[in-house]
A and B are shown apart, each in its own frame.
Chain A
Amino acid sequence: MPLTNSLRDDILASVPSLRAFAISLSGNGDRADDLVQETLLRAIANIDSFQPGSNLPAWLFTILRNLFRSDYRKRRREVEDAEGNYAKTLKTQPAQNAHLEFEEFRAALEKLPQDQREALILVGASGFSYEDAAAICGCAVGTIKSRVNRARSKLSALLYVDGAEDFGPDDTVRAVIGGNGGR
């Protein structure tokens, strides 16, 4: 369909979640914003192939996801500079007591296989249905479900079993103590 003003507004409205998706995938704020920019350019360059009335966010996420995957293959080796970059992208720094837990969670998320990570983010954070997530990833609904389940099991093992003493039910207590100038 043609690029109407309302379509333009809808695309703009998807930018915050596209950025969140890109950062969750790449763990790197700068690269994430480049991905978003390229996604927007691709989307508008190919706007004629967007079906009016279909799911615009899902369409945009599909473009971003495919760009990320081709980019990721290209840059696999330099991916390790991600550490620390993520926090820099956050305008509202997490409170210090929450920061450690947050970093550990992010590190665990990065340890997931890419298929599982993207499935978990799409369903668990972006709020897509299993059906939409399957369409975005170009796979069957059952595949998405099993990837999400495996992602959850693995995160759970990484965060709550291996690190049981760090992430036990005393977490709130730990956060309170940690907030007292600790890090």
Chain B
Amino acid sequence: MKEVKKQGGLNSEIQSRIGHQLRAMYDDVVRQGVPDRFADLIRKLDGPEAAAEIAKKDGGE
């Protein structure tokens, strides 16, 4: 068991719980991998011009 250290009302156990939940939430998305739409998009783009072109079409600035 880690030492419980007071730090402005926070102890290390709570800190590690928060860290754990944060990573669980984040990693859940990371584990989904690369959705097809992005793999296709990057495959399609052969250079900066192509990207700028699509960005313009999509209404980006």
* B26 & A20 in contact (Cβ 8 Å cutoff): yes
- Residue from A33, A36, A160 with most neighbouring chain B CB atoms (10 Å): A160
CA of A20 to CA of B34, assembled, Å = 11
- In the bound complex, residues from chain B placing their C-beta under 8 Å from that of A31 are none
A46 within 8 A of B: yes
A47 within 8 A of B: yes
A3 within 8 A of B: yes
- Residue from A8, A12, A20, A109 with most neighbouring chain B CB atoms (10 Å): A20
The chain B residue sitting closest to A161, CB to CB, is: B9
A176 within 8 A of B: no
CA of A126 to CA of B41, assembled, Å = 24
User: Nearest Cβ in chain B — how far from A63, in angstroms?
Assistant: 12
Which residues of B (13-61) have their CB < 8 Å from a CB of A?
14-15, 17-19, 21-35, 37-39, 41-42, 45-48, 50-52, 54-55, 58, 60
CA of A2 to CA of B51, assembled, Å = 13
- In the bound complex, residues from chain A placing their C-beta under 8 Å from that of B18 are 124, 152, 155-156, 159
User: Nearest Cβ in chain B — how far from A172, in angstroms?
Assistant: 12
In the complex where A19-B32, A152-B10 touch, is A3 in contact with B45 (Cβ < 8 A)? yes
- In the bound complex, residues from chain B placing their C-beta under 8 Å from that of A15 are 34-35, 38
* A41 & B23 in contact (Cβ 8 Å cutoff): no
* A17 & B19 in contact (Cβ 8 Å cutoff): no
**Residue-wise interface mask of A (80-106) relative to B, using a CB-CB cutoff of 8 A (1 in contact, 0 not):** 000000000111101000000110011
Would you give 15 A-B contacts (Cβ < 8 Å), ordered by A?
Answer: A20-B27, A21-B26, A37-B58, A38-B55, A40-B45, A40-B51, A41-B58, A46-B48, A47-B51, A90-B29, A101-B21, A105-B21, A125-B22, A125-B26, A161-B9
